[in-house]
Amino acid sequence: MAATERRAAERAGYPPRALTAAVLALIGIVLAVWAVAAVGETSARALATYTPVEVTVVDERTEERLVADRRGSSHATIRVVSVELPDGVRADLRSDDLAVGAAATVYLSDSDAVFATPPARPGVLEWTLCAALVAAAVVLAVASVRLMLRLRRSS
């Protein structure tokens, strides 16, 4: 007889089931939005094209930036050069080896960002993290829907 008895609706020491379902749904929504943003950004980087462009280095300066490594973060002085694109637009690049007045090849992205070298395509780790975010959002969505359906049946 004890095996067939259902648990009591009130569980001592636990929050109400409706609150648990609402919290699961909220976390699932946040994770789903984060997953969409991560997949979108990763896909955009994977599909971006970079066109090599000949430019002239017109100016240089140093900037103080916060640089992080495995030992922590600290301020570091970096060299930034300004380059002039063929259409007359100027862009800034971080470079230690481009000299003022020299011609150089830079890479122009679809979004008009300028890079000294083409950025690396997303790797297996980025795609795995995107898949994990999507999977976690789906699991939380299923769990919250199941809990809500169970609450409706017991009411």
What pLDDT sits at residue 12? 76
CA–CA separation, 81 and 91 (whole Å): 8
3-class secondary structure, 2: coil
Torsion of CA 7, 11, 12, 17, to 10 degrees: 170
What pLDDT sits at residue 35? 93
pLDDT in tens, 112-129: 888 888 889 999 999 999
Q: Which residue has the tokens 């462009």?
A: 53
* Range 49-115 classified under CATH 2.40.50.140: no
pLDDT in tens, 61-72: 888 888 888 888
Strands 103-109 and 114-115: antiparallel
Strands 90-94 and 103-109: unpaired
CA–CA separation, 133 and 31 (whole Å): 7
CA–CA separation, 134 and 139 (whole Å): 9
What pLDDT sits at residue 9? 57
Q: What ranges do the domains of the chain cover?
A: 17-46+124-154, 49-115
pTM, 2 dp: 0.65
pLDDT in tens, 13-49: 788 888 888 888 899 899 999 999 999 999 999 999 9
